[in-house]
Structure 1
Amino acid sequence: MSISGLLQSIKSSRSYENQIVHIEDISQRQPEHAYVELKPLINYALDQMGIKQLYCHQAEAIMHVRAGKDIVLVTSTASGKSLSYMIPIFEMVMTYPKATALYIAPLNALVNDQLKSFLELRDEMGIDANISRYVGTMSDDEKREVRYGNPQIILTNPEMIHLSFLPWNHIWKRFLSNLKFIVVDESHYYRGVVGSNMANLLRRLNRVCTYYGAHPRYICCSATIGNPGEHTAALTGRDVTVIDKDGSGRGHQKFVFWNPPFYVNEQGFSIRRSTFGESLSLFNRFIQYGLQTIAFTRSRQAAERMYVASRSSLREKGLTEKISPYRAGYFGKEREEIEKKLSDGSLRGVISTNALELGIDIGGLDACIIDGYPGTVMSTRQQAGRAGRGSGESIVALVAGSNALDQYYMRYPKEFFERNCEEAVLNVSNPYIQTGHVLCAAKEIPLTRKDEKYFGSGLSRIIELLEGEGLLTGGDSKSAVDPNPHGQVSIRGIDRDAYSIFAFNGGRRIPIEKDIEKSLAFKEAFEGAIYLHMGTPYHVSRLDHEKKEIHVEETKAEYYTRALVNSEIFIKERYTGKNLPSCMDAKAGLGAVEVVEKVTGYKKFRYFSETVLGEYALDMPGLSLETVALWIELPDRFTDLVYKHDLDFAGGIHAIEHAMIAMYPLRLLADRNDVGGVSTPNHIDLNGKCGIFVYDGHRGGVGYAERGYEIITEILEVTLKAIEGCPCSEGCPSCIQSPKCGNHNNPLDKHAAIMILHELLGKPP
């Protein structure tokens, strides 16, 4: 059946309730090729692999690299970015056998995938090139063989750069001194906390390379983002040339916006149906129609829940062995087996978190279901790019949640397709992140004043602080006192305060998962929570803060849980402030803050619905977060204006806070959990004035608050558009309600929010 026929079948089915609000026909795109002179052996190998011509972006990248430039290649999923770095690398090692190249990927799955591609091209050429991977899952003997085996090309991940290449740089001297290329694959992945860590890690790598007389060029590959040049320069510490003309072809695709209908719950309220049931139904339907399908979910637990439900539904059709879940937390061999089965077609469907959003080769699929808007245009396009086989037709279904950002695009679908991708931000100078990296750098090679070119003008202050704590020693050259500072630095987070999960069964203690961040442990694995792993529900019986352990027991519970969190905010330092141009007596501020969060309880929800089965109190320690926030300070006349119209001022600013956070990702590559908010009618640090705060959800801040402060008027405008455009009368999850609200979305006043925003933006009431 054709995709059009499938859609017609869906529309004529008994269960259809006008969920399709928009279908975007994305037309077929013909490939655009370009010629570049290659070595005869490379031409021969490409021909043997069925590649007759290079895309124009591949040719352009090769020419810029040959000219000695650092580049970032920004093209769509499955556009052949790999050849853009493999060809220059093989040209180099064929010409200069001592030359080396380093490939860095954020996931081991990508390392394994690209290793196969490197080996395939090498073997087709029939040359003798030493290509190895170097990851933490290898045995000590395997790692030793790589270190001392004179490798020319090494594929690795950031952890190995941090824990092996840099602290043991003298062992890697031959490799590093001959390093010609550093490939940073999926470079858009490195934003926020991970990006701030990676930026410091690459500066340490640049520093060690310079020490050994090497000046490697960067070849970065990124998804489409709004500021690829600026972001890559901040990441690598180098000016880069941007290549963003995509010459790859693609087949015709139908992009469906699917909005779940409303239903009346047990309390008599009209509520929009959850994405879960709608996505599950579409997934099962696509699988039964014979479409190889991927469904993306927003969380690990959602992926597990959907797999369990789909497995049950497809049992009668004999298709239970044809589907699988996929997420971080599985062992490497488990993930590799799923990837292989997807690629060879033996799996018909997979339900995944965004772990499969990156460029792991799983072949072209027929259909993609996105269970809830991923939060950014970039991620949505990345996930949608998984559907499409050559010139064949494909379908993507974006199933909208009830929250404000999802519903904004359901109301304004053309904005999604006309909008540029969001900007990626990172903060290389985050003091909580950079201090640890500076200490590691001092262990790798003694620090001097000249190292400001890597770590910025704040280096002297960091050195002073580290010396005061007795962590550095020396005169003009500073060395680390700790023999292993690298073990104290988490390059995927800010703190190494991680928890592990253990299941207890018949007296046996079984490890389930490890390295769960403290904040995630508090909010998803509190005592009484239901935690899913590999489709199995576990009841959390104990959260041991001293041992950093979560104890669980297998259960048959038919409900899931959600934490309730309360927040307070305190201003520690004001960085800057300004009057809003459209309302000169209202101010925007930016500064250092402390946010104190406390999980106060949780709710139980019936599976496949939002029906609340119960609410329970918890007594847990608080979580303190020192970060950066922007805030809006309103004069007293706003309070008088709102009360004059018999509206709720506290409810109005609370509604604005929720909507601002929801709409924040329209401009920035920020997940909903990357920013938080607090609103109060009389904040003590604002001399009793009203304050609406939006804070960076990461210790020390990684750039979200700063960029939001710069574009505060734009954020307020889109916030007003989202609230006014919602057809509800009193406020709903599609405009001002938040599932994360610790105050149970009370008070909220949609009309007060609209009135305040009109006044702030200088618009007629």
Structure 2
Amino acid sequence: MSSAADHGYPTMKNGHPVHDYVTALKNARSFDGQVVYHREFDPAAPTFGKPEKTWPVSIGDLLGSMGIDRLYAHQVQTIDRVRAGIHTVAATRTASGKTLTYALPVFEAVVDDASTCALFIYPLKALAQDQLKAINGMSAHLPGTLFRADIYDGDTSAYRRKKIRDNPPHVLMTNPEMIHLSVLPHHERWADLLGRLRFVVVDEVHTYRGMLGSHMAQVFRRLQRMCRHYGQSPTFVFTSATVANPEELAGQLTGLPVETVTESTAGAGRRHLILIEPVDGPLAATMTLLKSALNRGLRTIVYTQSRKLAELLAIWAKNRSGPFADRISAYRAGFLPEERREIESRLASGELLAVITTSALELGIDIGSLDLCLLVGYPGSIVATWQRGGRVGRSGQESAVVMVAGEDALDQFFVNNPEQLVMRPPEAAVINPYNPDVLSRHLTCAAAELPLAVDDPLLQPEAVHGCLRQLLADGALYLSADGTTCYSPMKNPHRHVNLRGAGSRYTIVNASDNTRLGEIDGFRVFRETHPGAIYLHRGKSFLVDALEPETKKIHVRRTRVNFHTRVRSHKDTLILDIMDQKAVYGTNMAVGRLRVTEQVTGYDRIETRTGKVLERIPLDLPPMVFETQGLWFIVPAGLTAMAQTARVHVMGGLHALEHAAIGVFPLLVLADRNDLGGISTPFHPQLESAGIFIYDGLPGGAGICAQAFSDGPGLLDATLAAISGCPCKTGCPSCVHSPKCGSGNRPIDKAAAMFLLRALISGTTPPARQVIHLPMVEGNADDGDEPVPVTDSPREPGSYGVLDIETQRSAREVGGWHHAERMRVSCVVLYDSRTDDYYEFVEGQVPALLEHIRQLDKVVGFNIKRFDYRVLSAYTDLDFRRIPTLDILEKVKAQLGYRLSLDHLASVTLNTGKTADGLDALKWWREGKMARILEYCRSDVAITRDLYRFGLAHRYLLFKNKAKQTVRLPVDW
């Protein structure tokens, strides 16, 4: 967009603070020979376009009031599609005016029909707050229109929430959690909004990758399902940073056909890109660069690769910046919301001159007009590099991005190939829409929102079928008696689903005053907040005193130490399923499903200044077991034998090869090495050879390894280039050392890794055929095409008896049910499948009963273990645990978590009920009516037998759940 007088940006150079800073940097003696690359990008003039349809007068007036007489060409292309009802993604660079591409069509629709509603979804609450100001600022120019926009998130008061639900605004701004936790499970309260929903805007869609993206793929499908329920089919509009596959990503997230606009036509100010290879390490260089920027008054953002490093840098910067100490702050995920809002406000106002952050400030939150971006290490992807760099120069002023290379393999790759930083295309964003761990949770949520018909579009993809079968078998979903509808046994399963992490969340508590410092997800808790760990928060060090899995709390206390901590761990992997495999050079590479077991065994205390290990401390923590996706390749036995003959350290080479391959992975896929895990082994029993495993580091997998598998040769080539291109002698963090290695990078042998890789790539030894012996686990078998389990023919159970006992005394008379052995037998009825007949016993015939039972393959009863056997124990020393027994009540309780009566199950499953109850039998005993008791007992045995036979034939019983729906209870006799 542009005013009539603004056709570009200023080209001022000499005397500009950024220009002077760059000149001084290149001429500084302290950086002599360390500036390996400098590229200056000239200002770019914008290109404009004209919409296909003329704007109505009201929108034209709005644009005129904002001083906009023309729109950028890419804005027009996006707007034309959205106005035509086409699902569209605008994937252009930062500060290219993407907000107008969805705001203007929404404003137009509201002016035309005041009942129109739109849903704007932002990945962070801060973004929604920021965009509300922008939308309200625009809508204020709408003449005579009562346009309303409002935010609904975790910070909205209960009073405001009810007002919003009862009278929805034209634009509701929210985040993924509120869609998942509030709108969908309580859709009846949102019927007015959902019934008028015309647009769904998904901002910063490139952030929905990995685990969050996999969750959101199901959230968006559930949202569309609910829109259909209320008669709407809204147009989806996505905005994104520049990624390789915006159309594919948006399509995977929603299952919808999507068109793209990718070329930015907005202007840009003069920009500098500088790459530094520091002599004294990246942290010291960054401190020097930051101090110089502060002295020049440059508003600076510093990006680090970890929370810990952001905190450490903030501590050092404050200690060394003199008068600027109070104008520097750390910023990262894990801070409390009010802490983040305060930092954002101070940064936008100019009170803060510098912020040291992680990717948490990568997105488009308005933090004012910044001048300088310092990248402490390569951000892990081209996408993130330009997204972070786009935080400066947003007002068109001259700006600079300085990347300070570290020892990481990718940093060194770009030091040696600096033009690649500019020329390399952006990576693809990857998600796994049908991650089974994620899918199962969302199917349960969907069924709780509205009962799921088996022909619902949500259940039709083939990838869903096996997951649905397992949910029904586990009792996580109930199938209706007629087999057409799935119900959720939980009223609100949504609160058990964390969209952004794996497992539950742990709260970090300051033990000194019991205040909440932050939180961490259950997948990282043992690695980062184990007992004895040093936890950093806002520049302060805390020692972890206690980790409580039961309460999900971590207790920490303030401390001052000269060390940090690093865990040691051991990992194993099991191949569960093979999705694909192929020959790659002299090896065989495969991709599939893995089960990973990681055991944190201890931690090292490492002196921060020198990196020296001060102490090694053991830990006794439970193993973490999860299933994920991964790729692996074998190192043939012939090659390892050849290496041993050449006196090559095979294990050291395999370990080094694994680290190097993980290090270069982000050259192929949009991923961070922290998104991945790896295992190298000199012999894996399923491979029957040595092997290298690389896997997605979260349960279920995010599709990262599956995409990298498609370029197997590229992975091996890049790995060899990274190792052989590093000038070190024996291995270093730039090639084969890993910062998170659970064994402390031991053993590592760089030369051995090159030996093995060169042999694999050259095909020196023929690849062994990969014959993998898969374990018999769920998911190996073919799931077939039907989304609902079919009934198998009855299985032969062998000989069995069905037993029921009536007693002489009540529980009250003997002091409670736990004294059942005192109740005495009045009679027993036993059905024997061998003769298809009933046998009756009274108290004096118990020995004959027991002898009969011993002849059966199985005994079936209802509450037989806790009651019938305890009554009989008064007459014998027989160990009833040695008798094969099926207790139907025990099975029911194990499946449901609560008990059902025999009468309930018989009435619903068999359409017949009990003829009497235990109190009647006690009354008849006192009256001497043994025939009545035997008749009643025989009836109960017949009912129990028929329930057993029904479950045997159909693999389910029927019952009424708490919502009074007749549903199937899966059983496996």
| Residue in structure 2 matched with residue 322 of structure 1 by the alignment | 327
Give matches, 1:198-237, under 5 Å. 198-237=216-255
Give matches, 1:460-471, under 5 Å. 460-471=465-476
Deviation, structure 1 residue 578: 1.8
| Residue in structure 1 matched with residue 48 of structure 2 by the alignment | 33
Q: Secondary structure at the match of 2:732?
A: coil
Partners of 1:236 and 1:398 in 2: CA distance:
36
1:491 to 488, 491, 499: 499
Partners of 1:144 and 1:276 in 2: CA distance:
50
Aligned length, in residue pairs: 744
User: Which protein has greater RCO, CA pairs closer than 8 Å, 6+ apart?
Assistant: 1
Contact kept, 8 Å, 2:434 with 2:464, in 1: the verdict is no
Q: 1:288 to 1:594 in 2, by over 3 A?
A: same
Structure 1 residue 338 corresponds to structure 2 residue 335: no
For normalisation by structure 2, the TM-score amounts to: 0.74
Deviation, structure 1 residue 146: 0.6
Give matches, 1:597-608, under 5 Å. 597-608=598-609
Contact kept, 8 Å, 2:31 with 2:278, in 1: the verdict is no
Q: Which runs of 5+ in 1 are unaligned?
A: 263-272
Q: 1:348 to 1:483 in 2, by over 3 A?
A: same
For residues 664-720 of structure 1, give each alpha carbon's deviation from its aligned partner in whole angstroms, at most 9, with x where no partner exists. Answer: 111211111111111111111112x01111111111112112112221111111111
Deviation, structure 1 residue 96: 1.0
Give matches, 1:494-573, under 5 Å. 494-495=502-503, 497-505=504-512, 508-514=513-519, 516-573=520-577
Partners of 1:92 and 1:637 in 2: CA distance:
69
The one-letter amino acid paired with 2:38 is I
Q: Secondary structure at the match of 2:188?
A: coil
| Residue in structure 1 matched with residue 684 of structure 2 by the alignment | 683
Q: 1:484 to 1:390 in 2, by over 3 A?
A: closer
Q: Secondary structure at the match of 2:155?
A: coil
Partners of 1:361 and 1:48 in 2: CA distance:
22
Deviation, structure 1 residue 323: 2.1
Structure 1 residue 120 corresponds to structure 2 residue 137: yes
Structure 1 residue 10 corresponds to structure 2 residue 11: no
Contact kept, 8 Å, 1:563 with 1:603, in 2: the verdict is yes
| Residue in structure 2 matched with residue 268 of structure 1 by the alignment | none
The one-letter amino acid paired with 1:253 is R
For residues 572-600 of structure 1, give each alpha carbon's deviation from its aligned partner in whole angstroms, at most 9, with x where no partner exists. Answer: 233332222x32xx211222222111222
Give matches, 1:165-564, under 5 Å. 165-261=183-279, 273=281, 275-315=282-322, 318-453=323-458, 456-473=461-478, 474=480, 475=482, 476-495=484-503, 497-505=504-512, 508-514=513-519, 516-564=520-568
Contact kept, 8 Å, 1:29 with 1:249, in 2: the verdict is yes
Partners of 1:743 and 1:253 in 2: CA distance:
43
Contact kept, 8 Å, 1:432 with 1:494, in 2: the verdict is no
Q: 1:425 to 1:633 in 2, by over 3 A?
A: same
Contact kept, 8 Å, 2:459 with 2:465, in 1: the verdict is no
Partners of 1:153 and 1:454 in 2: CA distance:
31
Q: Secondary structure at the match of 2:455?
A: helix
Contact kept, 8 Å, 1:109 with 1:336, in 2: the verdict is yes
For residues 4-45 of structure 1, give each alpha carbon's deviation from its aligned partner in whole angstroms, at most 9, with x where no partner exists. Answer: 432342344453353211112222211111122323333333
The one-letter amino acid paired with 2:31 is Y
The one-letter amino acid paired with 2:392 is A
Contact kept, 8 Å, 1:651 with 1:746, in 2: the verdict is yes
Deviation, structure 1 residue 658: 0.6
The one-letter amino acid paired with 2:76 is A
Q: 1:198 to 1:389 in 2, by over 3 A?
A: closer
| Residue in structure 1 matched with residue 747 of structure 2 by the alignment | 747
| Residue in structure 1 matched with residue 38 of structure 2 by the alignment | 23
Structure with greater Cα Rg: 2
Deviation, structure 1 residue 455: 5.7
Structure 1 residue 47 corresponds to structure 2 residue 64: yes
For normalisation by structure 1, the TM-score amounts to: 0.94
| Residue in structure 2 matched with residue 103 of structure 1 by the alignment | 120
Deviation, structure 1 residue 763: 7.6
Q: Which runs of 5+ in 2 are unaligned?
A: 1-14, 766-973
Deviation, structure 1 residue 65: 0.9
For residues 471-527 of structure 1, give each alpha carbon's deviation from its aligned partner in whole angstroms, at most 9, with x where no partner exists. Answer: 3332312221211111222222242x221111122xx3222113x112322112121
For residues 64-102 of structure 1, give each alpha carbon's deviation from its aligned partner in whole angstroms, at most 9, with x where no partner exists. Answer: 111221000001111111000000111111101111100
| Residue in structure 2 matched with residue 267 of structure 1 by the alignment | none
The one-letter amino acid paired with 1:529 is A
Deviation, structure 1 residue 420: 0.7
Contact kept, 8 Å, 2:364 with 2:391, in 1: the verdict is no
Deviation, structure 1 residue 252: 1.4
**Percent same amino acid at aligned positions?**
38
Partners of 2:88 and 2:543 in 1: CA distance:
49
Contact kept, 8 Å, 2:501 with 2:523, in 1: the verdict is no
Contact kept, 8 Å, 1:730 with 1:751, in 2: the verdict is yes
Deviation, structure 1 residue 564: 2.1
For residues 409-454 of structure 1, give each alpha carbon's deviation from its aligned partner in whole angstroms, at most 9, with x where no partner exists. Answer: 1111111211111111111111110011011111112112322456
Contact kept, 8 Å, 2:380 with 2:666, in 1: the verdict is yes
Partners of 2:459 and 2:270 in 1: CA distance:
46
Q: Secondary structure at the match of 2:639?
A: helix
Partners of 2:563 and 2:32 in 1: CA distance:
27
Partners of 1:743 and 1:633 in 2: CA distance:
22
The one-letter amino acid paired with 1:605 is I
Contact kept, 8 Å, 2:454 with 2:486, in 1: the verdict is no
The answer to which of 161-170 and 447-456 deviates more is 447-456
Deviation, structure 1 residue 609: 4.6
Partners of 2:577 and 2:364 in 1: CA distance:
42
Partners of 1:30 and 1:605 in 2: CA distance:
52
Partners of 1:129 and 1:11 in 2: CA distance:
53
Deviation, structure 1 residue 463: 3.0
Contact kept, 8 Å, 1:132 with 1:153, in 2: the verdict is yes
Contact kept, 8 Å, 1:24 with 1:254, in 2: the verdict is yes
Contact kept, 8 Å, 2:19 with 2:398, in 1: the verdict is no
Partners of 1:737 and 1:494 in 2: CA distance:
27
Contact kept, 8 Å, 1:277 with 1:608, in 2: the verdict is no
Deviation, structure 1 residue 332: 2.7
Q: Secondary structure at the match of 2:219?
A: helix
Partners of 1:477 and 1:545 in 2: CA distance:
37
The one-letter amino acid paired with 1:629 is G
